């Protein structure tokens, strides 16, 4: 079940319909997973479900509407199919449990300063004592500083960006093992071999170079989805600082930096040349998310397998 602490929120609804004789405010507290959700429902829990599905790359719509329609049902069915669940389009206990377990709880997308929305609220709540301010859903300087402090105290890279490693530790996971010692050890071994025999040096240098640029020139089969710059909680600014709202014709894809380094130029089958300029919580491994200026184009793209060529 999706963790209550991540997505508990207060829902305040003031009902005032024309022709009614009264208006009655309704206040409730709900957590995603407390109730089964299905087609036709419309309320706050559906918003949270859509947020989680969007973060995982299944809900390809420009905003979380709170209405459980055909798009949401289709997204749930796709998730169920890919995770060995009964494919009925109903978000019940087994589906919620699978959502929480996937990626060690890393359901939330990468967040940076300037982002807004429910996911930022969840981040602020998760930061606990690091964030001593109003939980307002705005990723401003105070939130960024809180993230930096949390990262510093937990052995993470201190960049003020709530990415997959930061989310993992916030959700009880462990910080990734530092890679620097291994690199130093490899360098020491190379130095020893260089001093004992000069003939082995070129081979070692060649191997090192091939590892550092292993993605360059490669063609990779990847699962692709599409997104826009106007989704709920999105700032429109990528992880590398590209303002997609100001540059709607920019060709940008979100990648897993461990597979394709940020800043790389790539060619995507059916999309053209683009820059790997963004990340996402659900974009891990051989997955990419293609930026499209038009919402309908993004919806029509759906989910497909494409060939991605890393140019440099």
- Tell me the per-residue pLDDT of 229-244, one tens digit each, with 9 for 90 and over: 876 556 788 888 898 9
pLDDT-derived band of residue 192, with 50, 70 and 90 as boundaries? very low
Question: For position 269, what pLDDT does the model report?
Answer: 93
Please say if the pLDDT value at position 178 is more than 80.
no
Question: For position 294, what pLDDT does the model report?
Answer: 86
DSSP letter at 243 equals B
Please say if the pLDDT value at position 204 is more than 70.
no
Please say if the pLDDT value at position 92 is more than 60.
yes
Q: What mean pLDDT do residues 283-309 have?
A: 85
Lowest-pLDDT range of 1-10, 64-73, 212-221: 1-10
Q: CA-CA-CA-CA torsion for 60, 61, 63, 65, nearest 10 degrees?
A: -110
pLDDT one-digit tens code per residue, 230-285: 765 567 888 888 989 888 999 999 898 888 988 899 999 999 999 999 887 668 78
Task: List CB contacts of 198: < 8 A, sequence separation 6 or more.
Answer: none
Distance from C-alpha of 282 to C-alpha of 110, rounded to nearest angstrom: 9
Please say if the pLDDT value at position 161 is more than 90.
yes
Q: What mean pLDDT do residues 201-228 have?
A: 61
Distance from C-alpha of 67 to C-alpha of 253, rounded to nearest angstrom: 28
pLDDT-derived band of residue 10, with 50, 70 and 90 as boundaries? very low
Average predicted confidence (pLDDT) for the chain? 75
pLDDT one-digit tens code per residue, 124-138: 988 989 999 998 889
Strands 304-310 and 219-227: antiparallel
Please say if the pLDDT value at position 301 is more than 50.
yes
Question: For position 209, what pLDDT does the model report?
Answer: 40
pLDDT one-digit tens code per residue, 148-160: 999 999 999 999 9
Question: For position 122, what pLDDT does the model report?
Answer: 79
Please count the other Cβ atoms lying within 10 Å of the Cβ belonging to residue 39: 13
Please say if the pLDDT value at position 61 is more than 60.
yes
Look up the pTM and report it: 0.38
Q: What mean pLDDT do residues 18-26 have?
A: 35
Question: For position 267, what pLDDT does the model report?
Answer: 93
Identify the top-confidence range among 94-103, 182-191, 249-258: 249-258
Q: What mean pLDDT do residues 30-51 have?
A: 82
Please say if the pLDDT value at position 22 is more than 80.
no
pLDDT-derived band of residue 75, with 50, 70 and 90 as boundaries? very high
């Amino acid at each position: 079940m999706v963790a209550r602490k991540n997505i508990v929120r207060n829902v305040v609804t003031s009902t005032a319909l024309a022709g009614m004789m009264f208006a009655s405010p309704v206040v409730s507290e709900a957590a995603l997973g407390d109730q089964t959700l299905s087609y036709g429902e419309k309320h706050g829990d559906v918003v949270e479900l859509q947020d989680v599905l969007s973060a995982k790359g299944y809900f390809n719509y420009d905003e979380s509407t709170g209405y459980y329609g055909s798009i949401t049902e289709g997204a749930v069915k796709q998730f169920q199919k890919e995770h060995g669940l009964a494919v009925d389009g109903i978000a019940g206990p087994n589906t919620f449990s699978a959502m929480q377990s996937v990626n060690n709880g890393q359901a939330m997308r990468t967040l940076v300063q300037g982002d807004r929305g429910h996911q930022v609220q969840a981040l602020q709540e998760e930061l606990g004592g690091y964030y001593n301010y109003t939980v307002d859903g705005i990723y401003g300087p105070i939130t960024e500083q809180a993230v930096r402090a949390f990262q510093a105290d937990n052995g993470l890279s201190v960049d003020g960006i709530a990415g997959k490693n930061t989310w993992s530790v916030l959700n009880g996971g462990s910080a990734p093992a530092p890679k620097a010692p291994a690199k130093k050890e490899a360098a020491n071994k190379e130095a020893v071999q260089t001093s004992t025999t000069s003939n082995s040096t070129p081979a070692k240098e060649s191997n090192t170079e091939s590892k550092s640029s292993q993605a360059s020139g490669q063609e990779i089969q990847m699962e692709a989805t599409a997104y826009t710059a106007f989704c709920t909680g999105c700032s429109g600014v990528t992880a590398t600082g590209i303002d997609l709202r100001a540059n709607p014709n920019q060709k940008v894809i979100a990648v897993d930096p461990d597979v394709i380094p940020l800043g790389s130029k790539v060619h995507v089958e059916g999309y053209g040349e683009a820059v790997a300029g963004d990340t996402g919580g659900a974009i891990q491994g051989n997955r990419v998310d293609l930026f499209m200026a038009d919402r309908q184009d993004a919806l029509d793209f759906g989910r497909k397998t494409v060939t991605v060529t890393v140019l440099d």
